[in-house]
Amino acid sequence: MEKRRQNIDRSLKERYGIISLLERLRQNGVTLDEMEEIGGSLRKSGDRALIPLLRNLWRERDSDVISRYAYLLDFFDEEGWIDQLVQIALKRRDLDEEGKAVLLAALKGYGVDITAPPFARLVAEAGASLEVFTRVLDMGDEGLSLFVDDFICRSRSEQRELIEELGGTGNPRILDLLEVLLRFDDAEIVKHAATSLGKIKDPRAARILDAFYRHADDEVRGEVERSLRRLSFQGVSAQDAPIAEPGPFHAVFITPPDIDGCRSLWVSRWLDEQLATLYLHLHDHEGIKAAWGGAATSADTEARLRELVEQEGFVAISHEYALKLIRDAMELNRSGGFYLPADFYVLYPRLFPDEKLTPVAYSPCSSSQVWRDAVPAHRLAATSTILDDDYFSGWLMTTGRVYDYAEEWSRIEETGSRRGEAKLLEQFCRELLSPDLEQIRHRLLLMADLMREAGRETALIDCTIDAAASLPVPPLPCHVHPLLRRIALESIEVAREALAEGYDLRDQQGDDAEEWE
């Protein structure tokens, strides 16, 4: 078990230190000298400190604290945060005037031109002009993403009016905006976008429609066909448009699912002399939670991939397998009523231009191999050993309740009561594990499926499937089940170690501890 804890918690002290430093900024009376000291300490941790700092900026509402967070950004390489700061200022709608003013002042201080109107005001202006839309396009991918964000928040009638306005300009520069709307998982939006594309006399409009028509649903094919016919009557042909064929895939990686069902997916593909990248956060019940990416050089991409593999445990997979997982995640977004991230609409087609952007549920192939008979006792006993594998490094529970139990365990340990420890372990499993056994089973099957895709050892795959087969109705109580018992014990032990070093997850905002992850 000692080896296991070292594998998981090798950065415990550093992460605790980062979070503690960020928490100091929330205290009243923090001096400039103290902020300089904190910034210098955080700079030594690089991205490990920058990521939680940016997360805090995304959700902090206190203008004074926002100002301190923004000040610390100057201690990091600007390329790692300036785009994020711009998006925070433009996308956050939950801030009061003072909070917005602080962000704008920070942007101005870092050399950003804040005289241009915010995007939301640009596209919301009545009678939007060609000049307004071209200014949006001048922002590149960021402008397209902000356009989608704003579009999603509009009413049906406003969406229709905006699409008609785009087509009414008749200008080829608007094609990028309409192409994004054409990929929405909404038949009405797609129909209106196809109609507007048919009004722009440009070969690229015909090519966009022609490429989409090949895999369009029957519900929208008629509208796409009419727009193509209209352009054809006007002498506009898709054959006259230049085609930028995508190159081979450069890299496709994914993290194993953690105990909460979260994983990250990376895809990069050659486009001309650069790489197009897409980074997704996936959840096994909520689908695609976040997306970002863009163009990158080969050197930057290779450096980033090395970091992801070494620090985050990314595993190489095929692009076909990645497509199945992406479509499955899209189906989860659709069935759960969760919007797809705006950046996903912009970036996905560059890496998968010939693939249909259609939600399709995917069942892990391992699910068909789960034995209907009870798992033999000797195989059930071996299920706890799967936690020794690096793929399961994210299978510890980290919530405020775990820390409650860890605190109580330490108190009981001082009394020397073995019966008290056993009773507490049983209570832990009943409260925190028993309600989620079906989800844990599903995540074990996802893990076995990934192991097969990655070419892992058959014995390890079979043992993981054994663990799944013993759930959701285990043959033993949860606190006796070998795998569940070990998850509980190690989760408590890691929480106890954190408490001993002065870190208490319950002191952070919320119990989900995003910074800790």
On the question of pLDDT at 512 being above 50, the answer is no
pLDDT band at 371 (very low <50, low <70, confident <90, very high): low
On the question of pLDDT at 119 being above 50, the answer is no
pLDDT average, residue stretch 75-98:
80
Tokens of 236: 């506009």
Q: Cα dist. 288→83, 177, 261, 305, 340 in Å?
A: 21, 22, 12, 21, 6
On the question of pLDDT at 83 being above 50, the answer is yes
State how far the Cα of 486 lies from the Cα of 4, in Å rounded to an integer: 11
- What pLDDT sits at residue 168? 79
Residues in contact with 379: Cβ distance below 8 Å, sequence separation at least 6, in sequence order: 463, 466
* Cβ neighbours around 236 below 10 Å, total: 20
State how far the Cα of 510 lies from the Cα of 277, in Å rounded to an integer: 32
Helix, strand, or coil (residue 289): strand
pLDDT band at 148 (very low <50, low <70, confident <90, very high): confident
Residues in contact with 59: Cβ distance below 8 Å, sequence separation at least 6, in sequence order: 509
Tokens of 98: 């003072």
What is the DSSP pairing of strand 315-316 with strand 287-296? unpaired
Q: Is the pTM of this model over 0.75?
A: no
- What pLDDT sits at residue 410? 95
On the question of pLDDT at 205 being above 70, the answer is yes
The full DSSP string for 23-80 is HHTTSTT--HHHHHHHHHHHHTTTHHHHHHHHHHHHH---HHHHHHHHHHGGGS-GGG
Looking at per-residue confidence, does 117 or 210 come out higher?
Answer: 210
Average pLDDT score, the chain: 84
Fold of 137-240: Leucine-rich Repeat Variant (1.25.10)
On the question of pLDDT at 319 being above 60, the answer is yes
Specify the domain boundaries for CATH 1.25.10.10 within the chain.
137-240
pLDDT in tens, 9-64: 445 556 667 887 888 888 877 787 788 889 888 888 887 788 888 888 888 888 88
Cβ proximity of 379 and 483 under 8 Å: no
Lowest mean pLDDT among 25-34, 111-120, 391-400, 405-414: 111-120
